[in-house]
Amino acid sequence: MEPNNDENQNPSTNKNKPSAEEADPIDRDQKLSLINRKFLSGRVFKPPPDRDNLISFRPQYFFYGSLMDARQLRKILQLQETPVLQSASIVGWDIMLWGQYPALVFKANNITHGMAYEVEKEEHIEYLMR
């Protein structure tokens, strides 16, 4: 019969192995994935000073009525230059007239074509909401 000691009862336990807290932090960090190391570094994103900080990204707006005309959009947004619009489409919507104005209504699997514009400033969003 074998002597009764901790190693025989728990053979997977190694008393000489350091705990996670005692492990070398450099060695521990090398075992972490890149994304985990970046997360643990705790750096905060700071946008460049010339960027409109109120919008952390520049949203694309979809136009399907009179705003598909770049000259009309230029007037509404009070731009110096004619805006660059890109052909775009959305799925699940259809254009119907609401009185004299076009409006988007849900229609499953339907494809609606229009134009997209990248909004550059928060004030432009405010102009579009009027």
- Contact present, 68 and 115 (Cβ < 8 Å): yes
Lowest mean pLDDT among 9-23, 56-70, 87-101: 9-23
Residue 42 domain-assigned (yes or no): no
Q: What is the rounded CA–CA span in Å between residue 102 and residue 105?
A: 10
User: How do residues 63-81 score in pLDDT, each as one tens digit?
Assistant: 999 999 999 999 999 999 9
Residue 89 domain-assigned (yes or no): yes
Residue 94 domain-assigned (yes or no): yes
Residue 43 domain-assigned (yes or no): no
Overall domain count for the chain: 1
What integer pLDDT is reported at residue 112 of this predicted model? Answer: 96
User: How do residues 111-130 score in pLDDT, each as one tens digit?
Assistant: 999 999 998 888 888 888 88
User: pTM for this structure?
Assistant: 0.54
User: Is pLDDT above 60 for 103?
Assistant: yes
Question: Residue 75: which CATH number?
Answer: 3.10.490.10
Average pLDDT, the chain: 78
Domain that holds residue 70: 60-129
Residue 125 domain-assigned (yes or no): yes
Residue 55 domain-assigned (yes or no): no
Instruction: Report which residue type is found at 107.
Output: K
